Amino acid sequence: MDNFFLGLSCQEENNFWDLIVADISGDRSVSVPIRSAFRSYMKDTELRMMSPKISSSKVNVKKRMVNLLRKNWEEKKNTVAPEKERSRRHMLKERTRREKQKQSYLALHSLLPFATKNDKNSIVEKAVDEIAKLQRLKKELVRRIKVIEEKSAKDGHDEMSETKVRVNLKEPLSGLDSMLEALHYLKSMGTKLKTVHANFSPQEFSATMTIETQIRGEEVEKRVERRLQETEWKLLFLPEASFYKDY
Amino acid sequence: MDNSAPDSLSRSETAVTYDSPYPLYAMAFSSLRSSSGHRIAVGSFLEDYNNRIDILSFDSDSMTVKPLPNLSFEHPYPPTKLMFSPPSLRRPSSGDLLASSGDFLRLWEINEDSSTVEPISVLNNSKTSEFCAPLTSFDWNDVEPKRLGTCSIDTTCTIWDIEKSVVETQLIAHDKEVHDIAWGEARVFASVSADGSVRIFDLRDKEHSTIIYESPQPDTPLLRLAWNKQDLRYMATILMDSNKVVILDIRSPTMPVAELERHQASVNAIAWAPQSCKHICSGGDDTQALIWELPTVAGPNGIDPMSVYSAGSEINQLQWSSSQPDWIGIAFANKMQLLRV
């Protein structure tokens, strides 16, 4: 602790103060104006005895300063408190958001194939695959619907149009039988016969018939041709099948 | 009446007064001498957000104090303490550093050549909040000038590295508000508190502190602390609402070596003489500034001060200039006075 003692400096300064004291003493004895703003305490003691004691009602400035600091600090801390409350509410909201997210992942997972893993990344990847697959299936189904609708529209065509059906047969066994067979067949196809123009000869049977039909004319003509061929084969092997025989 | 004329005459030659537009509280002497004289900083005391710091220029030859309007600047809340940088701080620029405490610790660069005041940094010691706990006082370490210690109403003392503008360390120093702090050595400081104790801390052993004084009445706050830089064995403290100046010897804890009791009202400020180990000055609500010389042996009737100065109002602040040891500065009401010793 002696290390703190600064004896030399202290002694030097003592000399300095001796001069000051001497100066003050000199002032008192010789009544010359003093260099210092301070007066000797003894004189002040005499003055003080004659004057009333000083009393102040003002609060000490140091105390006022500390109170001012504390008041400002309390105000700032009170504004900080709402921030802490806001922080707590934010934490609760985050917790709620995470819970909702978890529920969403579980719900999505339940829609996916059984073997899907349970982590978020797998759920999202698998969901993307499933959505793509479902989109492809939708496209295919839409295509099928279109095909079926087109077919249905075609079959449902109710409008009838007038057309000519021409048939021709070389060296018929029985021209009359051919004619009758053609007429029967046209009727069975739901067509409506309007006019018939026929030529009969041993070398050739030919007929032009005007009909009203829903089916295309070429189709009707083709079918009638096929029917007449069948009739020829039947007449060739089964002569009793002829309508003419009945007559 | 015969005495009044000579006193009045001599007083005008031995005291210089600055009238401020507002009440004054904090003040500081600069250790640098500029072209126009020595600088003095004074801080206003308005119980409001808007306060100011004024830089004055003191010429002891012509006995004049002039404000420097270009070096007047705003300060939030009244500054609790002002200090210029110690002469041991070597800086490349020509400016003078000024520190102020209050809502934060603030550093300012005073450059009289360019007539500018630049805020350098605003320091916050709170790790959890954007608001610094209010600082009641601070002391600038003149042995290690990059180190500055502040004390706060949150019971802590904070040691700053002002070159890096960071907290070097923070200690829970007391049980209640810490009112003042003072450096003794490069790593040793002491503090006083509203808990009524004077404690000494060593930064090399932060886990411990030494209580060297506790006020006789429990929880009587201690307001100010002054460490005798000429004789580090001695420090002085004052108690709230008390007319005593308590002189302590750190080698004999808890028992003051002297109690100076000649003020007629509360003591507000104390300052040791910068170049003498035996002299101390005190100012108080009795409007008096007293200079004491401590004897080697205390007499039975107590110690009388050496000399006295009567100001016009309660003295709130007192500083003994280390660069001009012939002069003591006091602040009272809206005046700052320089008194020749």
List pLDDT tens digits, range B17-76. Answer: 999 999 999 999 998 777 778 899 999 999 989 999 999 999 988 899 999 989 999 999
Chain A residue numbers touching B316 (CB-CB < 8 A): 61-62
Element (H, E) at B117: strand B116-123
Strands (E), B215-322: 222-227, 234-239, 245-249, 258-260, 267-272, 279-284, 288-293, 307-310, 315-320
| Helix, strand or coil, per DSSP, at residue B250 | coil
Burial level of A203, CB count in 10 A (0-12/13-18/19+)? exposed
pLDDT at A156: 62
Q: A72-104, pLDDT tens digit by residue?
A: 888 888 887 777 788 888 999 999 999 999 999
Domains parsed from chain B with CATH numbers: 13-272 (2.130.10.10)
Chain B interface test: which of A11, A13, A55 (most B C-beta within 10 Å) = A13
**Between chains, do A38 and B341 touch, taking CB under 8 Å as contact?**
yes
**What type of residue sits at position A81?**
A
- Nearest by CB to residue B306, choosing from A41, A53, A76, is A41
Q: B252 CB near a chain A CB, below 8 Å?
A: no
Nearest residue on chain B to A66, judged by CA atoms?
B136
| Chain B residue at shortest CA distance from A34 | B10
Please report residues of B whose CB lies closer than 8 A to that of A17: 276, 278-279, 293
Supply the pLDDT for residue A152. 80
Query: CA–CA separation, A19 vs A29, rounded Å?
Result: 15
Helices (H), chain A: 7-30, 41-50, 61-110, 120-155, 175-188, 217-237, 243-246
pLDDT at A244: 61
Which are the contacts of B217, defined by CB distance < 8 A and separation ≥ 6? B196
Q: Rounded CA gap, B50 and B72, in Å?
A: 13
The verdict on domain A162-237 having CATH code 3.40.640.10 is: no
Give the residue-averaged pLDDT of B202-226. 92
Strands B267-272 and B258-260, how do they pair? unpaired
Domain ranges of chain A: 63-111, 114-158, 162-237
B336 touches chain A (CB under 8 A): no
Residues from chain B that touch A1, judged by Cβ atoms under 8 A, are 233, 250-251
Q: What is the pLDDT along chain A (247 residues), one digit of tens a residue?
A: 333 333 444 444 444 444 444 444 443 333 334 578 898 886 445 545 444 444 445 677 888 898 898 888 888 888 877 777 888 889 999 999 999 999 999 889 888 888 888 888 988 999 999 999 999 999 999 999 999 888 887 776 567 788 889 988 888 888 888 898 899 999 888 888 899 999 998 889 999 999 988 888 888 899 999 998 888 888 888 877 776 655 4
Question: Which residues in chain A have Cβ-Cβ distances shorter than 8 Å to B131?
Answer: 73, 76-77, 80
Tell me the nearest-neighbour CA distance from B204 into chain A, angstroms: 17
Put simply, the answer to whether A53 touches B153 (Cβ < 8 Å) is no
Estimate to the nearest angstrom the gap between the alpha carbon of B218 and the chain centroid. 26
Inter-chain CB proximity A72 and B136 less than 8 Å:
no
